[in-house]
Amino acid sequence: MRAKRIAIVGLGLIGGSLGLAFKNMGGEKVIVIGIDHDQSTLQKAIERGAVDHSTNDLAEGVKYADIIFLCTPVLQIVPIVEKMLPYLKVGAILTDVGSTKSFLAEKLSAILPAGIHYVSGHPMTGREQSGIMAAEVDLFRDKWYILVPEASTCSEAVDEISQVLKWTGARLTTMDIAAHDQCAAIISHVPHVAAAALVNLLELYPDLEDNFKLVGGGFRDTTRIASSNADMWADICLTNAQTITDSLLNLQALLDEVIQGIKKGDRQAIHYFFKRAKVRRDALIAKTDSHAIV
């Protein structure tokens, strides 16, 4: 059987981790071609065994590929696809790992020719570090990987991507496109904005800078994701704008409740704010743990 040729465009945390997982489990069944504009990244991807071949030439990297994983920030994906279209072979499958699906589905469906397939995907995993050196072979293991058939162009292509993703150890599931973008906004996008806001809040108190050494576990845990890639998160905010904006306005209203409760000295209202959050979170964690793979 001929080895499947997989091209990965963008060898950062996600792209690099995909390559490591594919080579670890796929072995000789897969040939991985890494594509990136940074020469140092290409060299490190080779050294780490994430790819078999690497290049900064997009056309050269994709022309023989059966599957192309698009692992760049969201706003870079459509321009990259436009550049690679003349070089793709008939039957090639494009799939992305972007955190927003409606934007990409609309843009890509308008430019893809017949014979080139698209599968909409989103791995629900990551780290605050970025780049090829942050990549991990087990980054996706036991983590949800969402496929959106509604935003994909071919059911057979969805099946083929599902088979390849089994090499990562991810837990595959499907969602409709609106539910995905709303869910991602609440459980991922807004928390990243909030974490960044908490860190930026420190800038308003420069006189206390010498005391920041006292930062403890609570602040570190709450703001860990603020160390994530700024390019990626700027693109996410702009491509899931309405859903994120609506969710942030709802968050703002909840913060206003606390502000008013504190101003009025209303302990009961403040207590209720924290109590209902504890009850809700404990229930969510219990439900999540009950579905964990053991």
| pLDDT for 91 | 95
Domain boundary among 175, 190, 222: 175
Regarding whether 145 and 127 lie in a shared domain, the answer is yes
Regarding whether 185 and 140 lie in a shared domain, the answer is no
| pLDDT for 291 | 53
Confidence of residue 162 (pLDDT cuts 50, 70, 90): very high
Over residues 68-85, the pLDDT tens digits come to: 999 999 999 999 999 999
H-type helices in the chain, by residue range? Answer: 13-26, 39-48, 58-62, 74-84, 102-109, 155-165, 177-184, 190-201, 217-223, 230-239, 241-264, 267-290
CATH number at residue 198: 1.10.3660.10
Please give the residue range of the domain that contains residue 190.
179-290
Regarding whether 196 and 164 lie in a shared domain, the answer is no
What b/e readout covers 241-259, taking b as 16+ CB neighbours within 10 angstroms? eebbeebbeebeeeeeeee
Cα end-to-end distance, the chain, whole Å: 34
Over residues 270-286, the pLDDT tens digits come to: 999 999 999 999 998 88
| pLDDT for 189 | 94
pTM of the model: 0.86
**Mean per-residue pLDDT over the chain, rounded:** 91
Over residues 95-136, the pLDDT tens digits come to: 999 999 999 999 998 999 999 999 999 999 877 778 899 999
Confidence of residue 236 (pLDDT cuts 50, 70, 90): very high
| pLDDT for 276 | 95
